[in-house]
Amino acid sequence: MSEKSILIMKKIILIDGNAVIHRAFHALPPFKTSKGELVNAVYGFSSILLNLLNYNTPDYIAVSFDMKGPTFRHKEYKEYKATRKKAPDELYGQIPRIRSVVEAFEIPIYEIEGFEADDVLGTLAKQIEQEEDDLKTYIFTGDMDTLQLVTEKTFVLSPARGIKEPIVYDVQKVLGKYGLKPSQVPDMKGLQGDSSDNIKGVAGVGAKTTKTLLQKYGNLENIYDHLDEITGRVHENLKNNKENAFFSRRLATIVTDVPIKLNLEECRTHEYDKEKILTLFGELGFKALMSRLSKFNNHSQEKKIEENETQQSLF
């Protein structure tokens, strides 16, 4: 047995902050503090955070948020995500409070201008794979773009409606979902596009054709190297949209070399300042979360805690 095979694997959870905020905001009805401050997204985010710490008992944890301003994708393609409905001001107005919750738990925040949270998370995950033999990475997000990051040591935790525990996407789970390897997800979007991000792809090439092509040829380069083998309308569509295919793949590819460096030690979970968090939750009127926090023990190995139906539906 090799030395590496007997390593006890630890785990880090990397939270896609914006994805969690959007989920929380839309999952819960609007409600306010006694002073009239809207806090449904703050509550939902805080509840999910407590669930992650209690269910998964991570050894390390960090959060990434999208920053204001255009990313390199917007600069290269002005129509990137242009078809998305802008989130209401009521959501954005809660982000400072959500950041204060993260800070109260003393969880580090990683973010950088010009890049999306996905890029930061991808970069951190890659650094962990390269530098930490005994650490598995779990990215918590509802954004399926991150499935391209899945490897033998990096997983995606995706909350599912009506299911208490998040779905764990490993390599086999991604294969089951798309019939493709995680590394082929950008090629998939290069061909079929992604309407949610307003990525065009190849006109006339849908999910079924994309799957068939990638299962046979592996990636865009190999498809175009063997274009003469592909006949009919698909051949013409590919031929006429080659530039779109490669550009769309670039837009859909999560960058893993963002100029940011993980400080693993600052991500280590620890006994938090409970009084500080209780004070903040009290100010926000989160009595149910205060009760859960009173039972909270970061080093507990218990995987389940009592939750009401609203909390279960968030996770």
pLDDT for residue 162? 55
- Bridge-based pairing of strands 60-64 and 10-16 is parallel
pLDDT digits 0-9 by tens, 186-231: 999 999 999 999 999 999 999 999 999 999 999 999 999 999 999 9
| Backbone torsions φ then ψ of 61, nearest 5 degrees | -155, 145
What percent of the chain lies above the pLDDT cut of 70?
Answer: 90
- E-assigned strands of the chain? 10-16, 60-64, 109-110, 135-140, 154-158, 167-169
The amino acid sitting at 157 is L
- Of the options 1.10.10.60, 3.40.50.1010, 3.40.50.720, 3.90.180.10, the CATH number for the domain spanning 8-170+255-314: 3.40.50.1010
2 or 167: whose pLDDT is higher? 167
pLDDT for residue 307? 38
pLDDT for residue 203? 95
- Bridge-based pairing of strands 10-16 and 167-169 is unpaired
* Banded pLDDT at 183 (limits 50, 70, 90): very high
Structure tokens at 48: 């999910």
* Three-class SS state of 32: strand
* Banded pLDDT at 55 (limits 50, 70, 90): confident
Q: Edge-to-edge, what's the strand order for the sheet holding 60-64? A: 109-110, 60-64, 10-16, 135-140, 154-158, 167-169
Q: Can you give the residue ranges of every domain in the chain?
A: 8-170+255-314, 182-252
pLDDT for residue 6? 56
Structure tokens at 150: 């899945």
For residue 303, pLDDT over 70 is answered with no
* Three-class SS state of 167: strand
* Banded pLDDT at 1 (limits 50, 70, 90): very low
pLDDT digits 0-9 by tens, 256-301: 999 999 999 999 998 889 999 999 999 999 999 998 886 555 444 3
Closest CA to 261 of 168, 130, 139, 72: 130
* Banded pLDDT at 66 (limits 50, 70, 90): very high
Structure tokens at 18: 């914006």
Expressed in angstroms, the distance from the first to the final Cα of the chain is 39
DSSP symbol at 194: B
Q: Give the Cα separation of 139 and 120 in Å (integer).
A: 11
pLDDT for residue 283? 95
Average pLDDT, the chain: 90
The amino acid sitting at 89 is D
pLDDT digits 0-9 by tens, 17-54: 999 999 999 999 999 999 999 999 999 999 999 989 88
Please give the CATH superfamily to which domain 182-252 belongs. 5' to 3' exonuclease, C-terminal subdomain (1.10.150.20)
What percent of the chain lies above the pLDDT cut of 90?
Answer: 79
* Three-class SS state of 13: strand
Closest CA to 191 of 206, 173, 171: 206
8 A C-beta contact, residue 102 and residue 52: no
The amino acid sitting at 215 is Q
pLDDT for residue 296? 56
* Banded pLDDT at 77 (limits 50, 70, 90): confident
Mean pLDDT, range 153-178, rounded to an integer: 88
Mean pLDDT, range 228-252, rounded to an integer: 97
8 A C-beta contact, residue 260 and residue 288: no
Number of helices (H), then strands (E), in the chain: 15, 6
Q: Give the Cα separation of 277 and 145 in Å (integer).
A: 33
309 or 231: whose pLDDT is higher? 231
